[in-house]
Amino acid sequence: MRKSELKTKAEDIIAHLPDNVTWDDLMQQIYVRQKIEKGIHDADSGNIYTSAEVRKRFKASR
């Protein structure tokens, strides 16, 4: 990711936080954004599991 994109995303996160935000709140929002973007990238790359694979992996049945 280019620095300008990163800065824009950071500014967007900060702009949408309330005035009484804490550092922990900010770090949580950054963490969540990173995880969502990684998930989208993985899905776009075909790096996903089917429902059956997930059930098998966690030994859950329906």
What are the Cα distances from residue 26, in Å, to 5, 14, 39, 61?
18, 7, 20, 38
3-state SS class at 62: coil
Domain boundaries, position 34: 3-58
Number of domains in the chain: 1
pLDDT of amino acid 59:
86
3-state secondary structure 14-53: HHCCCCCCCHHHHHHHHHHHHHHHHHHHHHHCCCCCCHHH
pLDDT of amino acid 57:
87
Walk along the chain (62 residues) in steps of 10 and give the mean pLDDT of each run.
Answer: 88 96 97 96 94 87 58
Please tell me the pTM assigned to this model.
Answer: 0.71
